[in-house]
Amino acid sequence: MKRFQLNGRPVSADVEDDMPLLWVLRDELGLMGTKFGCGVAACGACTVHLDGQAVRSCVMPMVAVDGHAVHTIERDDDPVLARLRNAWITHQVPQCGYCQSGMLMAASALLRQIPNPTDADIDGAMTNICRCGTYQRVRAAIHAAAGARRPREAA
Protein backbone atom coordinates (compact mmCIF):
# COMPACT_ATOMS: atom_id res chain seq x y z
CA MET A 1 0.00 0.00 0.00
CA LYS A 2 1.38 3.42 -1.00
CA ARG A 3 0.38 6.39 1.15
CA PHE A 4 0.98 10.03 0.27
CA GLN A 5 -0.47 13.51 0.64
CA LEU A 6 -2.51 14.55 -2.41
CA ASN A 7 -3.44 18.23 -2.55
CA GLY A 8 -3.17 18.34 1.24
CA ARG A 9 -5.19 15.21 2.00
CA PRO A 10 -3.86 11.76 2.83
CA VAL A 11 -4.56 9.10 0.22
CA SER A 12 -3.52 5.52 -0.34
CA ALA A 13 -3.36 3.15 -3.28
CA ASP A 14 -2.71 -0.56 -3.47
CA VAL A 15 -0.44 -0.53 -6.51
CA GLU A 16 2.87 -1.86 -7.75
CA ASP A 17 6.14 -0.10 -6.86
CA ASP A 18 6.78 0.74 -10.49
CA MET A 19 3.33 2.01 -11.43
CA PRO A 20 3.86 5.65 -12.42
CA LEU A 21 2.17 8.35 -10.34
CA LEU A 22 0.28 9.55 -13.43
CA TRP A 23 -1.80 6.39 -13.64
CA VAL A 24 -2.45 6.32 -9.91
CA LEU A 25 -3.79 9.89 -10.08
CA ARG A 26 -5.96 9.17 -13.11
CA ASP A 27 -7.09 5.58 -12.87
CA GLU A 28 -6.90 4.83 -9.12
CA LEU A 29 -7.89 8.19 -7.62
CA GLY A 30 -9.93 9.61 -10.52
CA LEU A 31 -8.13 12.97 -10.79
CA MET A 32 -8.24 13.45 -14.55
CA GLY A 33 -6.66 16.92 -14.80
CA THR A 34 -3.15 15.47 -15.14
CA LYS A 35 -2.71 14.25 -18.69
CA PHE A 36 -0.92 11.44 -20.49
CA GLY A 37 1.00 12.69 -23.51
CA CYS A 38 4.03 10.49 -24.18
CA GLY A 39 4.93 8.30 -21.21
CA VAL A 40 8.63 9.10 -21.56
CA ALA A 41 8.89 12.49 -19.82
CA ALA A 42 9.28 14.28 -23.15
CA CYS A 43 6.14 16.43 -23.38
CA GLY A 44 5.30 17.58 -19.84
CA ALA A 45 1.51 17.10 -20.10
CA CYS A 46 1.70 15.06 -16.88
CA THR A 47 3.61 17.66 -14.81
CA VAL A 48 2.71 17.71 -11.08
CA HIS A 49 4.54 18.82 -7.95
CA LEU A 50 6.34 16.31 -5.74
CA ASP A 51 7.35 18.01 -2.50
CA GLY A 52 7.03 21.34 -4.33
CA GLN A 53 9.19 20.40 -7.30
CA ALA A 54 7.79 20.06 -10.82
CA VAL A 55 8.10 16.42 -11.91
CA ARG A 56 6.84 14.39 -14.83
CA SER A 57 4.43 11.97 -13.26
CA CYS A 58 4.45 9.54 -16.21
CA VAL A 59 7.93 8.32 -15.20
CA MET A 60 7.64 8.80 -11.42
CA PRO A 61 7.35 5.32 -9.88
CA MET A 62 5.08 5.05 -6.86
CA VAL A 63 7.90 3.73 -4.73
CA ALA A 64 9.39 7.23 -4.95
CA VAL A 65 6.08 8.89 -4.10
CA ASP A 66 5.29 6.81 -1.01
CA GLY A 67 5.33 9.11 2.01
CA HIS A 68 5.69 12.33 0.03
CA ALA A 69 3.43 15.26 -0.90
CA VAL A 70 1.90 15.59 -4.35
CA HIS A 71 0.06 18.59 -5.76
CA THR A 72 -1.89 18.56 -9.02
CA ILE A 73 -3.76 21.05 -11.19
CA GLU A 74 -6.87 20.38 -9.09
CA ARG A 75 -5.37 22.01 -5.96
CA ASP A 76 -7.35 25.05 -4.80
CA ASP A 77 -5.21 26.51 -2.02
CA ASP A 78 -2.25 27.94 -3.91
CA PRO A 79 -2.17 31.72 -4.47
CA VAL A 80 0.52 31.36 -7.15
CA LEU A 81 -1.58 28.90 -9.13
CA ALA A 82 -4.63 31.11 -8.64
CA ARG A 83 -2.76 34.10 -10.09
CA LEU A 84 -1.57 32.01 -13.00
CA ARG A 85 -5.10 30.76 -13.67
CA ASN A 86 -6.38 34.33 -13.77
CA ALA A 87 -3.58 35.37 -16.11
CA TRP A 88 -4.31 32.32 -18.29
CA ILE A 89 -7.93 33.45 -18.60
CA THR A 90 -7.06 37.12 -19.17
CA HIS A 91 -4.58 36.18 -21.89
CA GLN A 92 -6.92 33.51 -23.30
CA VAL A 93 -4.04 31.05 -23.34
CA PRO A 94 -5.52 27.55 -23.86
CA GLN A 95 -6.63 26.32 -27.25
CA CYS A 96 -7.37 22.59 -27.16
CA GLY A 97 -6.24 22.82 -23.54
CA TYR A 98 -4.82 19.32 -23.25
CA CYS A 99 -1.27 20.40 -22.32
CA GLN A 100 -2.35 23.30 -20.11
CA SER A 101 -2.51 21.47 -16.76
CA GLY A 102 1.13 20.57 -17.23
CA MET A 103 1.98 24.08 -18.41
CA LEU A 104 0.33 25.63 -15.34
CA MET A 105 2.07 23.25 -12.93
CA ALA A 106 5.43 23.93 -14.59
CA ALA A 107 4.76 27.67 -14.43
CA SER A 108 3.72 27.62 -10.77
CA ALA A 109 6.90 25.73 -9.86
CA LEU A 110 8.89 28.33 -11.81
CA LEU A 111 7.25 31.28 -10.02
CA ARG A 112 7.87 29.69 -6.62
CA GLN A 113 11.54 29.42 -7.50
CA ILE A 114 11.94 32.65 -9.46
CA PRO A 115 9.18 35.12 -8.62
CA ASN A 116 10.11 37.47 -11.47
CA PRO A 117 11.40 35.26 -14.28
CA THR A 118 13.14 36.61 -17.37
CA ASP A 119 12.34 35.28 -20.83
CA ALA A 120 15.43 33.07 -20.54
CA ASP A 121 14.16 31.69 -17.21
CA ILE A 122 10.84 30.90 -18.86
CA ASP A 123 12.56 29.23 -21.82
CA GLY A 124 14.58 27.09 -19.41
CA ALA A 125 11.70 26.04 -17.16
CA MET A 126 8.88 25.68 -19.67
CA THR A 127 9.93 22.68 -21.73
CA ASN A 128 6.35 21.43 -22.08
CA ILE A 129 5.09 20.72 -25.57
CA CYS A 130 1.98 22.43 -26.91
CA ARG A 131 0.92 21.40 -30.41
CA CYS A 132 -1.63 24.25 -30.62
CA GLY A 133 1.22 26.73 -30.29
CA THR A 134 0.12 28.66 -27.21
CA TYR A 135 3.71 29.46 -26.19
CA GLN A 136 3.52 33.19 -26.83
CA ARG A 137 0.46 33.58 -24.63
CA VAL A 138 1.90 31.25 -21.99
CA ARG A 139 4.93 33.53 -21.79
CA ALA A 140 2.79 36.67 -21.56
CA ALA A 141 0.58 35.11 -18.88
CA ILE A 142 3.57 34.06 -16.76
CA HIS A 143 4.97 37.59 -16.90
CA ALA A 144 1.54 38.99 -16.03
CA ALA A 145 1.12 36.62 -13.09
CA ALA A 146 4.61 37.50 -11.84
CA GLY A 147 3.83 41.20 -12.16
CA ALA A 148 0.56 40.74 -10.30
CA ARG A 149 2.43 39.49 -7.25
CA ARG A 150 1.40 41.31 -4.11
CA PRO A 151 4.39 42.84 -2.32
CA ARG A 152 3.60 40.84 0.83
CA GLU A 153 3.77 37.57 -1.10
CA ALA A 154 6.93 38.57 -2.86
CA ALA A 155 8.77 39.10 0.39
| Cα–Cα dist 112/146, whole Å | 10
In the complex, what is the shortest distance from the CB of residue 40 to other proteins, in angstroms, rounded to a whole number?
A: 6
- Which is nearest to 144 in space by CA: 75, 78, 73, 85? 85
Beta strand extents in the chain (DSSP E only): 2-6, 9-13, 47-50, 53-56, 69-71
Nearer to other proteins, 69 or 98 (CB): 98
Binding of other proteins at residue 56 (CB under 8 A)? no
Nearer to other proteins, 41 or 152 (CB): 41
**What is the amino acid identity at position 58?**
C
Residues 133-152 that bind other proteins (CB under 8 A): 133-139
CB–CB of 104/35 below 8 Å?
no
CB–CB of 7/72 below 8 Å?
yes
Q: What are phi and psi of 20, to 5 degrees?
A: -70, 145
**How many residues of this chain bind other proteins (CB under 8 A)?**
56
Q: How many helices (H) and strands (E) does the chain have?
A: 6, 5
Only one of the segments 49-57, 98-106, 110-118, 143-151 lies at the binding site for other proteins (rule: CB under 8 A); that segment is 98-106
In the complex, what is the shortest distance from the CB of residue 52 to other proteins, in angstroms, rounded to a whole number?
A: 19
Q: Which of 65, 80, 94, 108 binds other proteins (CB under 8 A)?
A: 94
Q: Which of 2, 4, 6, 34 binds other proteins (CB under 8 A)?
A: 34
In the complex, what is the shortest distance from the CB of residue 39 to other proteins, in angstroms, rounded to a whole number?
A: 6
Residues binding other proteins (CB under 8 A): 16, 19-20, 23, 27-28, 30-40, 42-43, 45, 72-74, 76, 84-85, 88-89, 92-101, 104, 122-124, 126-139
